[in-house]
């Protein structure tokens, strides 16, 4: 939905300011290189259209097959909207120090996973990012781009722990 056109340095917890985050990046910061690349990669060459905000900020997608047609957020699939929300969270200009992504691959088309991994890699220098995923492909892509080995969550006999973690909560240095 359109939202008030205020400067939005990061996505709020509800995601209702997504249009303001995009408008801030496009019109205030004039810094959308990573965002434009992520959108093009995830949506086969599509681009994000963010009109100059008046009272409200809004956005739409323009797909290469329909270059003169703006697809509003309400016309997009759940997976497309989820990817855009992840883009707003990971590529906003003031990222939080810690970002937790719980199964970010949910509803995403598998072809979007490389673009998601690239966004994680872009945000990683400024934020500590924890990802819980069932997608081995996403884990491998993040490892390839960030150089961090994924850890498996192990469940056995009613207990749950992270592979390589000692009872103290520390991970052995050779495993890091």
pLDDT at 166: 83
pLDDT at 124: 96
For the chain, which residues score pLDDT lower than 50? 175-176
Distance CA 168, CA 46 (A): 48
Please, which residues bridge with residue 142 across strands? none
Distance CA 71, CA 117 (A): 25
Residue ranges of domains in the chain, CATH in brackets: 3-175 (3.40.50.300)
pLDDT at 149: 87
- Which tens digits make up the pLDDT trace of 104-133? 999 999 999 999 999 999 999 999 999 999
Q: Is 29 helix (H, G, I), strand (E, B) or coil?
A: helix
pLDDT at 173: 67
pLDDT at 76: 97
């Amino acid at each position: 939905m359109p939202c008030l056109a205020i400067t939005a340095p990061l996505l709020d917890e509800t995601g209702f300011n997504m249009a303001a985050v995009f408008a801030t990046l496009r019109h205030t910061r004039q810094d959308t290189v990573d965002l434009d690349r992520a959108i093009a990669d995830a949506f086969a060459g599509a681009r994000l259209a963010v009109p100059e905000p008046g009272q409200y900020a809004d956005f739409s997608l323009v797909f290469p097959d329909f270059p003169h047609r703006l697809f509003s957020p309400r016309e997009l699939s759940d997976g497309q909207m989820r990817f855009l929300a992840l883009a707003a969270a990971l590529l906003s200009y003031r990222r939080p120090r810690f970002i937790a992504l719980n199964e970010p691959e949910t509803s995403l088309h598998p072809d979007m996973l490389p673009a998601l991994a690239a966004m994680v890699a872009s945000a990683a220098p400024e934020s500590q990012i924890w990802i819980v995923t069932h997608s081995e492909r996403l884990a491998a892509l993040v490892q390839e781009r960030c150089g961090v080995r994924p850890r498996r969550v192990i469940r056995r006999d009613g207990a749950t722990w992270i592979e390589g973690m000692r009872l103290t909560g520390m991970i052995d240095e050779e495993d890091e």
